[in-house]
């Protein structure tokens, strides 16, 4: 996501929101290790999150990018930062048994007098126990800033929504490819390969990027589990297969799941389909500014209960800019007990999936909150796609 995708004012707004949140928590220096948050603050984009890297945000002045030396050129090309704000650590410390890159970060923070009231993203995929131990030894107690930047990303700008709608077009193109290629006897990995190619080749002049999650594609009994990917066995009559995929455009996502069936879906699966479709309609009607996450979630649970099903997991989460292993923003959830109020231009992945011990059905939508209710980010037929021959 090169910085050129957004204006200087857009980045300035994000920095101001983040600094206000830092001030409210008494944080003077924020160390951001989540690549999604790094990108949102600076534009940095690169497959470099397998090694230590961070954006350091002081209470005043420009953010600082810090990473592996061979990735500094990528930071120069994709961020809006000047060369003085790009720092690195010794290349010899890559996966070294006796040295760690965060030792270098400690020195950089001392050199720039950024050693007071430090906050870190403690509960984050990309921030290790070793990194934390090094910082804590050097600076003492660190503030837990988990989710601080994530929450500032919750309301999307018009520029962000434009990227997500492009991602939605890619998602729709991928699902059209699925429907066209879904047939008895076809090896599932061949179909998944075709779908992934469609998401990257793109449509309508929109080229795709790699998504934060691999395609989810379980069939039959496999579909009783919610996060199985694909295998090399043939598609078989009498089995439901659901595909959860997302187009990705400039690192923004719009995931959607659809269920396909070879043959005539049995009555219990049709009953689940009816409950899910009703849940989506009810949710979109309710998803207006001022409603709470649990208000919206109730639409799903109540629709399922009327059909005689019980859903034991959350039914949605916020989405937007992301990197592997997750396209969720890890803040609020659509579930009972979450009283976070929806605001205009928040974006969610609505997940009214149903998993039984024998099968699973998932029909999901990515949507934006508007004064008129939830509006889908992709146009994809929702009914179960049943193939007779």
| Structural domain containing residue 215 | 158-387
The rounded distance, in Å, linking the Cα atoms of 86 and 252 is: 25
- Judgement on whether residues 8 and 136 belong to the same structural domain of the protein: yes
pLDDT of residue 312: 87
Tens digit of each residue's pLDDT, the chain (389 residues): 467 689 999 999 999 999 999 999 999 999 999 999 999 999 999 999 999 999 999 999 999 999 999 999 999 999 999 999 999 999 999 999 999 999 999 999 999 999 999 999 999 999 999 999 999 999 999 999 999 999 999 999 999 999 999 999 999 999 999 999 999 999 999 999 999 999 999 999 999 999 999 999 999 999 999 899 999 999 999 999 999 999 999 999 999 999 999 999 999 999 999 999 999 999 999 999 999 999 999 999 999 999 999 898 999 999 999 999 999 999 999 999 999 999 999 999 999 999 999 999 999 999 999 999 999 999 999 999 999 86
The count of domains in the chain is: 2
According to the model, what pLDDT value does residue 56 have? Answer: 98
Boundary of a domain, candidates 152, 167, 188: 152
- Beta carbons of 304 and 275 less than 8 angstroms apart: yes
Q: Are residues 210 and 127 in the same domain?
A: no
What does the pLDDT read at residue 226?
A: 86
Q: Are residues 123 and 162 in the same domain?
A: no
The predicted structure's pLDDT at residue 2:
63
Is there a single domain that holds both residue 95 and residue 242? no
Pair 206, 306 in one domain: yes
- CATH code of the domain covering residue 173: 3.90.230.10
Among 124, 152, 180, identify where a domain stops: 152
CATH number, position 53: 3.40.350.10
**Are the CB atoms for 93 and 100 separated by under 8 Å?**
yes
- Please indicate, yes or no, whether residues 139 and 168 belong to a single structural domain of this protein: no
Residues counted in the chain: 389
> Among 117, 152, 187, which residue terminates a domain?
152
Using the structure block, give the residue that is written with the tokens 């439901």. 240
Residues 196 and 121 in one domain: no
Alpha-carbon distances of 200 from 171, 226, 255, rounded to whole Å: 10, 24, 14
Together in a domain, 247 and 172: yes
* Same-domain status, 283 and 183: yes
Instruction: Give yes or no: residues 339 and 356 share one domain.
Output: yes
Are residues 164 and 276 located together in one domain of the fold? yes
Structure tokens at 150: 């994530």
Regarding whether 135 and 271 lie in a shared domain, the answer is no
pTM: 0.96
Model confidence pLDDT, tens digit, residues 116-133 = 999 999 999 999 999 999
| List of residues 6+ apart from 257 with CB closer than 8 A | 216, 242, 243, 244, 245, 351, 353, 362, 363, 364
Burial of 13: CB neighbours in 10 Å, binned 0-12, 13-18, 19+ = middle
């Amino acid at each position: 996501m090169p910085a050129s995708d957004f204006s200087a004012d857009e980045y300035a707004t994000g920095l101001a929101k983040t600094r206000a949140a830092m001030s409210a928590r008494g944080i003077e220096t924020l160390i951001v290790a989540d690549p999604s948050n790094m990108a949102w603050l600076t534009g940095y984009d690169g497959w470099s999150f397998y090694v230590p890297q961070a954006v350091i945000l002081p209470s005043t002045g420009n953010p600082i990018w810090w990473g592996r030396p061979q990735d500094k050129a990528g930071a120069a090309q994709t961020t809006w930062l000047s060369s003085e704000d790009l720092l690195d650590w010794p290349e010899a410390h890559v996966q070294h048994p006796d040295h760690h890159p965060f030792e270098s970060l400690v020195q950089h923070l001392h050199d720039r007098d950024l050693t007071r009231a430090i906050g870190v993203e403690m509960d984050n995929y990309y921030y290790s126990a070793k990194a934390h131990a090094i910082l804590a030894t050097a600076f003492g107690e660190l503030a837990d800033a988990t989710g601080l930047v994530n929450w500032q990303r919750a309301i999307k700008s018009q520029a962000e929504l434009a990227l997500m709608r492009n991602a939605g077009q890619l998602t729709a193109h991928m699902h059209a490819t699925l429907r066209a290629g879904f047939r008895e006897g076809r090896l599932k990995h061949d179909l998944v390969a075709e779908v992934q190619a469609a998401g990257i080749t793109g449509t309508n002049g929109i080229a795709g990027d790699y998504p934060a999650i691999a395609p989810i594609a379980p069939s039959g009994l496999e579909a009783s589990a919610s996060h199985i990917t694909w295998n090399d066995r043939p598609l078989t009559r009498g089995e439901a297969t659901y595909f959860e995929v997302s187009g990705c455009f400039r690192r923004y996502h719009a995931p959607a799941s659809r269920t396909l069936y070879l043959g005539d879906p049995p009555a219990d699966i049709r009953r689940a389909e009816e409950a899910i479709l009703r849940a989506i309609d009810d949710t979109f009607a309710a998803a207006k500014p001022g409603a709470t996450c649990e208000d919206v979630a109730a639409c799903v649970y109540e629709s399922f209960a009327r059909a005689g099903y019980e859903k034991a997991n959350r039914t949605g989460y916020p989405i937007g800019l992301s990197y592997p292993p997750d396209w969720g923003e890890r803040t609020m959830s659509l579930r009972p007990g979450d009283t976070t109020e929806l605001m205009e231009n928040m974006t969610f992945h609505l997940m009214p999936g149903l998993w039984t011990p024998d099968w699973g059905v998932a029909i999901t939508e990515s949507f934006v909150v508007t004064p008129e209710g939830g509006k889908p980010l992709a146009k994809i037929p929702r009914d179960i796609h049943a193939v007779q021959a």
